[in-house]
Amino acid sequence: MEIREPERLTPVVGEADVIVVGSGPGGLSAAIAAARAGVSVILIERFGCFGGNITSVGVEGFAWYRHEKTIEAGGLSFEYEQRATESNAAVPESQSKSYELDSEGFKVVADNLVLKAGVRPMLHRAFCAPILDDDEIKGVITESKAGREAITGKIIIDATGDADVARRSGVKVFKNKKEDMISASIMFHMSGVNKEEFMNEIERDPQKYSDWSDKNWQVQTSGKEDDMFSPFLRKPFEKTKDSGLIDSDLQTISGTWGAIHDSGELTYLNLVHLNGIDGTDPESLTKGEIEGRKAALEAIAALKEYMPGCSAGKLRNFGMTIGIRDTYKIDSVYNLSDEDGKNECRFEDSVGIYPEFIDGFGVLVLPTTGRYMHIPYRSLLPKNIKGLLVVGRAIGGSNIAQAATRNMACCTVTGQGAGVAAAETIKNKTSLNSVNISNVQKLLSNQNVRFFNWEKYQ
């Protein structure tokens, strides 16, 4: 059954050169970069904080892939870690040469970056429809406690993670079948853990990346990862097999922890994996939230019983929403391929580099050798529409390419690239299709982004 909604007049409540929808690593970076490049920017977000998965899901491992020889992207991805560390909103991460962001503290770090850059913040507004004029997007309609409102701009950047704006504007998109998507997760954090006892156990029985694979979950590495330390937990859950503490299917509970704090907090517990959840279907999301929270409590019960240091531990908090890894990807002017992701692709229209870090669809490659890929501007540019760029995990690419580009530091590269490209397009009164890419690269370089000549920044 369908109903016809009445036509209505919608008030215009905002206007800016660039409108960014969604404020995860992709959107936050696009907004800050565009504002720093000298254009007016509005940043729209459906929740009450900026940061996307970092703050609303609790994904704190921003650069857990970083090792001695890793060649980094620089730019805002470096700045986020630096600002968070200065603001006491990051701690050393357990497996890498990086800092784990504090998902709560980063909310304020993001507020300050947005305000300082002069971006107009618009929280608590969900995008619901594009404003289209033939094949050009001119703005967006949002829904909020204030009802429907219009916000107009010269360039719109879709940073919703799910390509909401692109999709509803008629851009062609791709999505894996539900059963082939990377699993969703309910992320949680614990308090009351005895750090000394916990770390003694980790040191007594250190886990490796090769331990990720078992009969239920096969992860293909490049070989060099296998003997490296991983903060991985499966044994406490295996021990519950016969105890009845866990009734969920055992294969959905195991994974990594991020940091153990002096305060007894054990954070970024990425232990509950839910297969077959479609992050763009509210029925599926409802199921995932409820089943995931139940599984998280079972995981805590198992840790209390079988993981030294955890006996007095308790749930500190869940992420405020289920974590979604994989939904729509746009058909862009250039869709990255599996080979691009695996073989250090190089492009003339690069907006930045990303270290060779592939994590997803059964593959794990860590950037331990200094290899890196280029991110082409054309992968942010959807076909057959004017005025729109897409950033973050929805850019054009195959599954293996996405296993690299979905990572937060890479989403930052795409966001910063799009923000600067939008500013350059507006200032030179040109179009997104014909923007001068070497000017974009110069501006990005002024914003400390590495691309072709990264050696200069070492």
Ligand X SMILES: Cc1cc2nc3c(=O)[nH]c(=O)nc-3n(C[C@H](O)[C@H](O)[C@H](O)COP(=O)(O)OP(=O)(O)OC[C@H]3O[C@@H](n4cnc5c(N)ncnc54)[C@H](O)[C@@H]3O)c2cc1C
Angle of helix 25-36 relative to helix 75-86, nearest 10 degrees, comes to 100
200-218 burial, b at 16+ Cβ within 10 Å, e below that, comes to ebbeeeebebebbeeeeee
- In the bound state with ligand X, the residue whose beta carbon lies nearer, of 53 and 335, is 53
Q: What is the DSSP string of 238-302?
A: HTTTTTSS--S-GGGEEEE--EE-TTS-EEEEEEEEETT--TT-HHHHHHHHHHHHHHHHHHHHH
- In the bound state with ligand X, the residue whose beta carbon lies nearer, of 163 and 306, is 163
CB 20 within 8 A of CB 43: yes
**DSSP H helical ranges for 38-194:** 75-86, 105-117, 164-168
- In the bound state with ligand X, the residue whose beta carbon lies nearer, of 64 and 377, is 64
CB 71 within 8 A of CB 355: yes
User: At its nearest, how many Å lie between ligand X and the CB of residue 365?
Assistant: 14
- In the bound state with ligand X, the residue whose beta carbon lies nearer, of 52 and 139, is 52
Separation between Cα atoms, residue 135 and residue 262, nearest integer Å = 55
**What does the block give as tokens for 225?**
């990862």
Separation between Cα atoms, residue 158 and residue 163, nearest integer Å = 6
- In the bound state with ligand X, the residue whose beta carbon lies nearer, of 145 and 429, is 145
User: At its nearest, how many Å lie between ligand X and the CB of residue 163?
Assistant: 9
User: At its nearest, how many Å lie between ligand X and the CB of residue 244?
Assistant: 27
Strands (E), 281-379: 314-318, 328-330, 350-355, 358-360, 363-365, 372-376
Q: How far is CA 289 from CA 185, 275, 278, in A?
A: 9, 12, 12
- In the bound state with ligand X, the residue whose beta carbon lies nearer, of 231 and 309, is 231
User: At its nearest, how many Å lie between ligand X and the CB of residue 210?
Assistant: 19
User: At its nearest, how many Å lie between ligand X and the CB of residue 54?
Assistant: 7
**What does the block give as tokens for 226?**
């296998």
CB 353 within 8 A of CB 373: yes
User: At its nearest, how many Å lie between ligand X and the CB of residue 405?
Assistant: 8
CB 256 within 8 A of CB 230: yes
User: At its nearest, how many Å lie between ligand X and the CB of residue 160?
Assistant: 4
User: At its nearest, how many Å lie between ligand X and the CB of residue 411?
Assistant: 4
- In the bound state with ligand X, the residue whose beta carbon lies nearer, of 368 and 407, is 407
User: At its nearest, how many Å lie between ligand X and the CB of residue 339?
Assistant: 21
Tell me which residue of 5, 4, 43 sits closest to 24, measured CA to CA.
Answer: 43
User: At its nearest, how many Å lie between ligand X and the CB of residue 202?
Assistant: 18
Separation between Cα atoms, residue 358 and residue 418, nearest integer Å = 22
Separation between Cα atoms, residue 392 and residue 416, nearest integer Å = 10
- In the bound state with ligand X, the residue whose beta carbon lies nearer, of 44 and 330, is 44
User: Which residues are CB-contacts of 290 (< 8 A; sequence separation ≥ 6)?
Assistant: none
Separation between Cα atoms, residue 96 and residue 61, nearest integer Å = 10
- In the bound state with ligand X, the residue whose beta carbon lies nearer, of 52 and 231, is 52
Q: Which residues bind ligand X (CB under 6 A)?
A: 21-27, 44-47, 52-53, 56-57, 59, 61, 64, 126-127, 159-161, 164, 185, 187, 270, 323-325, 392-393, 406-408, 411
- In the bound state with ligand X, the residue whose beta carbon lies nearer, of 161 and 309, is 161
Question: Would strands 253-256 and 232-233 be described as parallel, antiparallel, or unpaired?
Answer: antiparallel
**Radius of gyration for the chain, computed over Cα atoms and rounded to the nearest angstrom:** 22
- In the bound state with ligand X, the residue whose beta carbon lies nearer, of 81 and 306, is 81
User: At its nearest, how many Å lie between ligand X and the CB of residue 195?
Assistant: 21
Q: Return contacts of 435-440, CB within 8 angstroms, 24+ apart.
A: 435/377, 437/348, 437/349, 437/377, 440/351, 440/377
